[in-house]
């Protein structure tokens, strides 16, 4: 029985756990998905060990795809592009809807393996799978109602009818990070297919399982062979080879800043390539003095610690009005201790590397005289998984490394502030803010502050509810380019203006 057939039957937490806990079973070996087929493991000579975040033990063997495999996938996508680009919106919409339906049928399987592979709670994984399904449904509908520009121009000698024609760009490289594996991958694959492009996707080598399962969904949905291919490997070798390919017309990436910089360097000479780089960030939460304290504490904790703080929109920098600072901090610390417990509401961080990075940042914060309100510095060598206790820091100078760097873990930093102008300045001084949360009962302040913050997505008295068409922002250190709704249309299509005589 092949790996994908075996996994398709391990579709509940009990079945998956029984398989993993059986010491007689070999580690699961993933396979590259190219031209609607899973390549035989015999074609893979090197493997990457993917560890379980909860135990630190070996979980999967992931192919370390060499350049010839990447080139094969890109060539397949390039050959598939002419035919796929000619399909009608209705045809593409039907396939996207079929992908969504199959995902819906197997959503518990996807949630279980996303939780196991990434370390997130099953509740969180289910939410992300639901959102991943919605990506395909959203774009299946969007392309049926997309309206292009049409104008009648009357001139002194003749009149013309001007209209916009939007052909697809070509073959895309899609690479994603490890914090929301399926969600991020589907947020890019769905519009890529919807607007007539083909592609090669490479998920993070740390969290490849649901990408592997998605390949089978695409095959069952009768997506034409070669239209979307999935290869596995690390960023340094496999990812770099992929984005450098001369057949790649665009790159859509979400992940760490260092990798984003490397992609820009790898594609520097390819001026024709479109780049969307959504990079890791740390967002502010502002708590004004007029809030309902209990509701504000709950929202603030949710924004800071959901998914163990491994979200680009996590509200990990918390600014509290001085009039309520002391009482808020007491309630906030108590709430986090009670409602964000390791192994229950809070999972481990995704990898040993992420664990070590968070630990080094907390060590440095301690050396800079930060106060640990709750939590502490994890053990130097993790045992039984990559668990980092929820941590709240105070007495952190805004110019310190702890304040400036993106920690990307279950760590929140609290600051007092006095005036609206002051807190806006403090928030905007950090270039890593992708989103922001404004907690106040004053509707005028919600609008006023929200519009002055350097954040692409702002929530007032709530967090994370999001319309898919809103997209993400190309803002300072958090990236370049935008995706979502019309922004995705602009990313995956070219705008051509045609003029014809008007009679």
Name the nearest CA neighbour of 69 among 181, 233, 193, 188: 233
Two structure tokens written together for 293: 């304290």
Contact 331, 430 (CB under 8 A): no
What does the alpha-carbon distance between residue 453 and residue 427 come to, in Å, rounded to a whole number? 7
Q: How confident is the model at residue 484 (pLDDT cuts 50, 70, 90)?
A: confident
Among the ranges given (7-21, 198-212, 332-346, 428-442), the one the predictor scored with the smallest mean pLDDT: 428-442
Q: What is the CA radius of gyration of the chain?
A: 24
What is the pLDDT confidence band of residue 477, given thresholds at 50, 70 and 90? very low
pLDDT given for residue 149 in this prediction: 66
Kindly tell me if the per-residue pLDDT of 503 is higher than 70.
no
Average pLDDT, the chain: 92
The two tokens of residue 361 are 């940042």
Query: pTM of the entire structure?
Result: 0.94
Residue 467 in this model has a pLDDT that exceeds 80: no
Q: What percent of the chain clears pLDDT 90, i.e. is strictly above it?
A: 76
d(CA 316, CA 402) in angstroms, rounded, equals 11
Sign of CA dihedral 105, 110, 113, 116: negative
How does pLDDT run across 423-452, given as a tens digit for each residue?
999 999 887 778 899 999 999 999 999 999
- pLDDT at position 161: 80
Task: List active site positions.
Answer: 278, 312
The pLDDT of residue 475 is above 60: no
Question: Residues with Cβ < 8 Å from 464, sequence gap 6 or more?
Answer: 302, 303, 306, 313
Helices of type H across 415-472:
420-428, 443-452
Residues shown for the chain: 503
Reply yes or no on whether the pLDDT at 131 is more than 70: yes
pLDDT at position 165 over 90: no
* Res 479 pLDDT > 60: no
Task: State yes or no: pLDDT of 1 exceeds 80.
Answer: no
- Per-residue pLDDT at 481 exceeds 70: no
DSSP string, 71-121: HHHHHHHHHHHHHHHTS-HHHHHHHHHHHHHHHHHTHHHHHHHHHHHH---
d(CA 300, CA 412): 10
What's the pLDDT tens digit per position in 60-95? 999 999 999 999 999 999 999 999 999 999 999 999
Alpha carbons 190 and 182: distance in angstroms, whole number: 12
- What integer pLDDT is reported at residue 367 of this predicted model? 93
- Kindly state the average pLDDT of the residues 102-123: 98
Sign of CA dihedral 200, 185, 312, 122: negative
Coil, strand, or helix at residue 473?
coil
- The residue whose two tokens read 């979400």 is 254
**pLDDT surpasses 70 at 473:** no
Q: Averaged over 268-294, what is the pLDDT?
A: 91
DSSP type of residue 60:
E
The three-point CA angle 462-467-470 to 5° equals 110
Render 296-364 in DSSP notation, one character per residue.
HHHHHHHHHHGGGG-STT---EEEEETTTHHHHHHHHHHHHHHH--BTTTB---S-HHHHHHHHHHHHH
Write the pLDDT tens digit of every residue in 381-431. 998 999 999 999 999 988 888 888 888 999 999 999 999 999 999 999 887
């Amino acid at each position: 029985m092949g790996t994908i057939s075996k996994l398709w039957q391990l579709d509940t937490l009990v079945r998956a756990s029984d398989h993993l806990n059986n010491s007689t079973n070999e580690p699961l070996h993933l396979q590259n998905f190219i031209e609607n087929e899973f390549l035989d493991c015999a074609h893979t000579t090197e493997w990457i060990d993917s560890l379980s975040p909860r135990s630190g033990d070996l979980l999967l063997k992931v192919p370390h795809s060499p350049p010839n495999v990447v080139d094969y996938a890109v060539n397949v996508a390039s050959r598939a592009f002419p035919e796929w680009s000619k399909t009608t919106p209705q045809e593409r919409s039907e396939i996207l809807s079929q992908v969504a339906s199959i995902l819906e049928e197997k959503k518990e399987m996807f949630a279980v393996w996303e939780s196991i592979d990434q370390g997130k709670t099953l509740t969180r994984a289910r939410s992300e799978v639901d959102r991943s399904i919605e990506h395909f449904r959203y774009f299946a509908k969007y392309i049926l109602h997309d309206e292009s520009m049409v104008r009648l121009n009357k001139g002194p000698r003749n009149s013309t009818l001007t209209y916009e024609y939007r052909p697809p760009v070509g073959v895309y490289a899609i690479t994603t990070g490890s914090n929301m594996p399926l969600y991020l991958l589907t947020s890019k694959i769905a519009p890529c297919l919807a607007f007539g492009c083909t592609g090669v996707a490479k998920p993070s080598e740390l969290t490849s399982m649901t990408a592997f399962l998605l390949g089978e969904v695409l095959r069952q949905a009768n997506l034409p062979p070669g239209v979307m291919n999935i290869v596995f490997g690390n960023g340094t070798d496999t990812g770099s080879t992929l984005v450098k390919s001369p057949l790649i017309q665009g790159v859509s990436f979400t992940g760490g800043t260092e990798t984003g910089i490397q992609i820009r360097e790898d594609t520097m000479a390819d001026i024709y390539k479109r780049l969307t780089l959504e990079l890791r960030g740390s967002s502010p939460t502002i708590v004004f003095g007029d809030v309902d304290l209990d509701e504000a504490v709950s929202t603030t904790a949710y924004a800071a610690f959901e998914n163990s703080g491994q979200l680009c929109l996590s509200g990990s920098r918390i600014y509290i009005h001085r009039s309520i600072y002391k009482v808020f901090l007491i309630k906030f610390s108590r709430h986090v201790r009670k409602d964000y417990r390791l192994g229950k509401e809070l999972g481990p961080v995704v990898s040993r590397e992420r664990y070590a990075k968070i630990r080094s940042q907390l060590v440095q914060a301690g050396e800079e005289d930060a106060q640990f309100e709750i939590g502490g510095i994890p053990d130097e060598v993790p045992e039984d998984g990559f668990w980092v206790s929820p941590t709240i820091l105070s007495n952190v100078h805004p110019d310190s490394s702890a304040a400036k760097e993106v920690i990307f873990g279950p760590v929140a930093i609290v600051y007092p502030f006095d005036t609206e102008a002051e807190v806006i300045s403090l928030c905007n001084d950090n270039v890593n803010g992708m989103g922001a949360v404004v907690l106040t009962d004053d509707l005028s302040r919600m609008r006023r502050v929200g519009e002055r913050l350097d954040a692409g997505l702002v929530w007032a008295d709530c967090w994370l509810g999001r319309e898919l068409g809103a997209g993400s922002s190309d803002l300072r250190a958090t990236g370049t380019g935008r995706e979502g709704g019309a922004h995705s249309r602009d990313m995956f299509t070219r705008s051509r203006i045609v003029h014809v005589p008007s009679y």
